[in-house]
Amino acid sequence: MVNPDNHMNYSRFSPGYGCIARHCIARHCRAQSRPTPLLFTLLLLFAACSRHEFAGTVFEEAQPAAPIHGENYNGAPFDLADLEGDAVLLFFGYTFCPDVCPLTLMELAATKRALEEDAPGLAADLQVVFVSIDPKRDNLARLKPYVQAFHPQFYGVRVSAQKLETLKPAYGLYASPQEGQNASAEFYLLDHTSGIYLIDRDGNWQGLFRADVTAEELTADLKELLR
């Protein structure tokens, strides 16, 4: 055990020495508590590494999403505004699409299921809406089994040809028969823009994702954006 009597009393040597010693000890403690340049650099690197890098494009100023009115595959009226309070992933495509549309819907379904496992509260507040750009062929009877094959909770919406034309400029859509094909024929393929629109809980267009975004990327982005 250390004997307190053996501790040196600095004040014996000069009238102000005790104060000087205490002052030096205090300065030493404060210096030790300051982050060193190396520690400061490590903290900055840690903050940079922990910052999420989004796979999609996130808009700094979200704009209201254009209205969409149509019919869901079950015949119920569909109004995009009715989904306010939930986040929405919106995708435009058509059931005869041979590649981009089914692959994108598979990733959307995988995203929904991943959130159902990892963040069920978030999954419950996330709606996925597929809007057909081929109203001539995509009737409700065709939309229902197509959409349900990916996820039973997805919306499959048909809008009239006239309403579709108003949606094209609002969402930057392009849809036209491929070169050499005729839309009056029984079978034709469409060239069309593809992208996944994120609409926030207030009905604003918050972000845009490539159609080839993976479920892992999309899930990670949604956990950051909608938490």
DSSP output for 30-59? HHHHSPPHHHHHHHHHHHHHHSPPPSSEEE
Smallest Cα–Cα separation from 134: which of 169, 95, 84?
95
DSSP run (H or E) holding 18: helix 17-33
Looking at residue 227, what is its pLDDT? Answer: 83
Q: Does the model's pTM come out above 0.85?
A: no
Q: How far apart are CA 63 and CA 86, in angstroms?
A: 16
Q: How far apart are CA 71 and CA 82, in angstroms?
A: 13
Task: Show the domains of the chain with their CATH numbers.
Answer: 4-50 (no CATH), 57-225 (3.40.30.10)
Smallest Cα–Cα separation from 186: which of 134, 123, 130?
134
Looking at residue 186, what is its pLDDT? Answer: 84
Give the Å distances, CA to CA, from 117 to 2, 52, 88, 168. 59, 21, 19, 35
pLDDT digits (tens, 9 = 90+) for 108-162: 999 999 999 999 999 999 999 999 999 999 999 999 999 999 999 999 999 999 9
- Whether 27 shows a pLDDT value over 70: the answer reads no
Looking at residue 185, what is its pLDDT? Answer: 87
DSSP output for 98-147? SSHHHHHHHHHHHHHHHHHHH-HHHHHTEEEEEEES-TTT--HHHHHHHH
DSSP run (H or E) holding 205: strand 204-209
Paired tokens of 5 = 């009597």
What is the DSSP pairing of strand 204-209 with strand 196-199?
Answer: antiparallel
- Whether 75 shows a pLDDT value over 70: the answer reads yes
Looking at residue 65, what is its pLDDT? Answer: 97
pLDDT digits (tens, 9 = 90+) for 47-73: 444 578 999 999 988 899 999 999 999
User: Considering the chain, what percentage of its residues have pLDDT values greater than 90?
Assistant: 72
Across 21-50, average pLDDT: 48
pLDDT digits (tens, 9 = 90+) for 154-206: 999 999 999 999 999 999 999 999 999 988 888 999 999 999 999 999 999 99
Q: How far apart are CA 226 and CA 204, in angstroms?
A: 13
Count how many Cα atoms sit within 13 Å of the Cα of residue 225 in the half-sphere of its side chain: 30
Q: How far apart are CA 188 and CA 134, in angstroms?
A: 11
Smallest Cα–Cα separation from 134: which of 172, 78, 77, 173?
173
Task: Give the bridge partners for 197, in sequence order.
Answer: 90, 208
